[in-house]
Amino acid sequence: MSEVTALYIVMAVALAIWLGLFAYLWALDRKVRRLEREIRREQAGHE
């Protein structure tokens, strides 16, 4: 395997890991955003 091919492979793996991680973080962020909206509405409802 040439050096260049090895580099491409490692890069692809790293990229895949990052994209997976990013998707997960985004999903978490969305959930947290929803909860925050709900809590803000409830607190506004109390007043």
Partner 1 sequence: MNWTRWSMIGKVVLGVWMAGVLVAAFLVEKPDLGQVGRIYFFHIPVAWVTVLSFLLSSLYGIRYLVKRQRLDDHRAANAATLGIVFCLLATVTGAIFARVTWGAFWNWDPRETTIFFLLLFYAAYFALRAAVADEERRATLAAAYNILGLVVVPLLVFVAPRMAELAGLHPNELLIGGQGGMSPPVRRVFLAALAGFTGVFVWVLDLANRTARLGEALADDEEA
Q: Give me the residues that bind partner 1 (CB under 8 A), please.
A: 3, 7-8, 10-11, 14-15, 18-19, 22, 25-26, 28-29, 32-33, 35-36, 39, 42-43
Nearest to 15 by CA among 3, 27, 25, 7: 7
Rg of the chain in Å (alpha carbons): 20
